[in-house]
């Protein structure tokens, strides 16, 4: 493929590999765009989300345990208060006889008597109202507060910092590869951001094996895929033989995180890996197994004995058995092929060029999963720089590019609402396979209609001095088509011109 001009490389570096152009447009890296991209890899630049509520996983879970206990006590107090009310009335002495009142149609004296008993629907409703009244003013929902702080730290923080933003894009890619969903439980809800900060970002430019172990042992992943419920069938904790394996984490580790669905494993391998990682759990509030809120190995719940996975035998040496199994999964040729395919599909084309996939996979294997080397192989190929914009930006990428280009800083709840409306609720995929990465999912008429609403919202907030024609030229550079420039120029209002620019094919694609 023929080489392009630096202007084209600059536009592609920002849109395809980065977060989109900021207010400086494409000129900020135009002198050496590919060099600027390589520099972000060399410097291993991944912005760090910051904020007072962005605490460690352990601290967040300890806060959650305290919140849950406080809520439990509040409910108990409200129930006691509501149940005590009829008793106070009874202690006032017998009521004077009264003339019977007319009974509603279909009501009998017996049903009226039943309705007067404390254990009925009316009492339950009264208790519920009392709990609601007690909780609302004093107890904002802690997991959502933390999630909003995490959102703010990224969309009004980390996406604004880099010149290109390859590291930030990679953090998004890997967080989707190792997906968790805040809708799973309060534990996942409150630590999904910490999971990304602790298990993903530190390893984006490191070794895949290190990221894999950090992910699979993180409390967010253990909770999301129910490994705390997995008990070795022959372990001490299962002496009564009433519990057993939960294979969720083992299955997704093989199918999604490493080998891929066609990676050559069997159901027997899933069961074996599930046995290997029994005992991988999270210390609860009481701290019986370790520091509350941290990953711990519970030897009493671990399946004893050596285990054979994909033809390799792993000695029963506690948590080391699982660590060694994950290390070998990270080095497996099928893992190299799976990761290479996903990376090329994400950054280059929905149908990944086979030659580029093989180049990236070979680098992955040769370097023992050195991700920096893998990325260099990806961006070093001319196949990655085809000027045809074949990828459709996901709602997350579109929102990021919008905020970078406009400079607007919406409140985090507005950002969450916009992402949900466009079909990609933040850190809340429908399953552990994460969100799709192809145009057929994101280019639907309904999805584009929602994007129009979001584009209008941002365009309406942009300062009046912004000229849509200058904006679209600066942001898209040589990727801008004459058709789009004419459409923007013919807009009846400034807001309409900006909206057309945001919804143009060159802005929607990368």
CB-based contacts of 376: which residues, under 8 Å, 6+ apart?
Answer: 38, 41, 363
What is the average per-residue pLDDT within 435-459?
93
Q: How far apart are CA 62 and CA 56, in angstroms?
A: 10
Q: How far apart are CA 479 and CA 489, in angstroms?
A: 17
Q: Which residue has the higher pLDDT, 113 or 365?
A: 365
Question: Based on C-alpha coordinates, what's the Rg of the chain?
Answer: 28
According to the model, what pLDDT value does residue 377 have?
98
Q: How far apart are CA 384 and CA 63, in angstroms?
A: 45
According to the model, what pLDDT value does residue 103 have?
41
Lowest mean pLDDT among 64-78, 307-321, 388-402: 64-78
- Calculate the average pLDDT of the chain: 91
Q: Write the pLDDT tens digit of every residue in 14-62.
A: 999 999 999 999 999 999 999 999 999 999 999 999 999 999 999 999 9
Tokens standing for residue 110: 């017996």
Q: Write the pLDDT tens digit of every residue in 173-194.
A: 999 999 999 999 999 999 999 9
Q: Write the pLDDT tens digit of every residue in 145-155.
A: 999 999 999 99
Of all residues in the chain, what percent carry a pLDDT higher than 70? 89
What is the average per-residue pLDDT within 388-414?
97
Bridge partners (DSSP) of residue 282 are: 295
According to the model, what pLDDT value does residue 125 have?
54
Tokens standing for residue 97: 């006889």
Does 110 have pLDDT greater than 80? Answer: no
According to the model, what pLDDT value does residue 106 have?
40
Nearest to 278 by CA among 240, 210, 325: 325
According to the model, what pLDDT value does residue 104 have?
39
3-state SS, 18-63, equals CCCCCCCCCHHHCCCHHHHHHHHHHCCCCCCCCCCCCCCHHHHHHH
What is the average per-residue pLDDT within 470-487?
96
SS3 of residue 411 by DSSP: coil
Does 233 have pLDDT greater than 70? Answer: yes
According to the model, what pLDDT value does residue 129 have?
53
According to the model, what pLDDT value does residue 105 have?
39
Q: How far apart are CA 98 and CA 155, in angstroms?
A: 67
Bridge partners (DSSP) of residue 207 are: 370
Q: Please list the alpha-helical segments (H only) found in 117-243.
A: 121-138, 142-155, 166-177, 186-195, 208-216, 219-224
Q: Write the pLDDT tens digit of every residue in 338-349.
A: 999 999 999 999
pLDDT band at 102 (very low <50, low <70, confident <90, very high): very low
Does 131 have pLDDT greater than 60? Answer: no
Q: Which residue has the higher pLDDT, 365 or 1?
A: 365
Contact 410, 403 (CB under 8 A): yes
According to the model, what pLDDT value does residue 380 have?
97
Tokens standing for residue 194: 């910490």
Q: Please list the alpha-helical segments (H only) found in 178-282.
A: 186-195, 208-216, 219-224, 248-252, 267-276
CB-based contacts of 275: which residues, under 8 Å, 6+ apart?
Answer: 232, 233, 245, 303, 307
């Amino acid at each position: 493929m023929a080489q392009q001009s630096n202007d084209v490389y600059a536009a592609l570096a920002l849109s395809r590999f980065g977060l989109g152009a900021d207010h400086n447009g494409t000129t900020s890296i135009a002198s050496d765009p590919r060099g600027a991209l390589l520099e972000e890899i060399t410097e291993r630049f991944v912005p760090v989300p910051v904020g007072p509520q962005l605490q460690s996983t352990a601290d967040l879970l300890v806060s959650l345990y305290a919140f849950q206990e406080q809520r439990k006590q509040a409910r108990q107090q409200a129930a006691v208060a509501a149940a005590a009310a009829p008793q106070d009335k009874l202690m006032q002495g017998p009521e004077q006889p009264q003339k019977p009142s007319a009974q509603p149609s279909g009501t009998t004296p017996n049903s009226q008597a039943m309705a007067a008993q404390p254990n009925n629907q009316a009492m339950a409703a009264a208790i519920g109202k009392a709990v609601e009244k007690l909780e609302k003013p004093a107890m904002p929902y802690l997991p959502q507060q933390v999630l909003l702080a995490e959102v703010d730290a990224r969309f009004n923080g980390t996406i604004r910092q880099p010149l290109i933003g390859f590291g930030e894009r990679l953090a998004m890619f890997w967080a989707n590869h190792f997906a968790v969903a805040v809708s799973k439980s309060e534990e996942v809800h409150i630590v999904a951001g910490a999971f990304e900060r602790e298990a993903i970002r530190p390893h984006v430019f490191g070794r895949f094996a290190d990221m894999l172990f950090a992910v699979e042992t993180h409390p967010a992943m253990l909770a999301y895929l129910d490994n705390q419920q997995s008990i070795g069938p022959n372990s001490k904790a299962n002496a009564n033989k009433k519990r057993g394996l939960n294979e969720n984490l083992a299955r997704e580790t093989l199918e999604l995180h490493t080998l891929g669905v066609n990676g050559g494993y069997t159901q027997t391998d899933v069961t074996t890996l599930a046995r290997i990682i029994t005992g991988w759990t999270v210390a609860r509030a009481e701290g019986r197994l370790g520091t509350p809120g941290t990953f711990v190995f519970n030897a009493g719940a671990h399946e004893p004995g050596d285990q054979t996975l994909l033809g390799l035998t792993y000695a029963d040496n506690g948590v080391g058995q699982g660590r060694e199994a994950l290390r070998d999964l990270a080095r497996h040729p099928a893992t190299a092929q799976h990761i290479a395919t996903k990376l090329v599909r994400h950054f280059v084309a929905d149908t990944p060029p086979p030659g580029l996939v093989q180049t990236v996979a070979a680098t992955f294997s040769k370097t023992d999963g050195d991700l920096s080397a893998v990325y260099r192989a990806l961006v070093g190929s001319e196949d990655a720089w085809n000027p045809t914009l074949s990828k459709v930006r996901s709602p997350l990428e579109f929102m990021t590019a919008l905020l970078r280009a406009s400079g607007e800083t919406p409140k985090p709840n507005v950002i969450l609402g916009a992402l949900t409306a466009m079909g990609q609720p933040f850190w809340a995929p429908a399953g552990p396979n994460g969100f799709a990465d192809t145009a057929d999912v994101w280019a639907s008429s309904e999805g584009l209609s929602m994007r129009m609403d979001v584009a209008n919202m941002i365009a309406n907030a942009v300062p009046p001095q912004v000229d849509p024609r200058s904006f679209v030229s600066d942001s898209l550079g040589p990727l801008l088509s004459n058709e789009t420039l004419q459409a923007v120029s013919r807009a009846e209002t400034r807001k309409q011109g900006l909206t057309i620019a945001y919804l143009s094919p060159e802005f929607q694609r990368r």
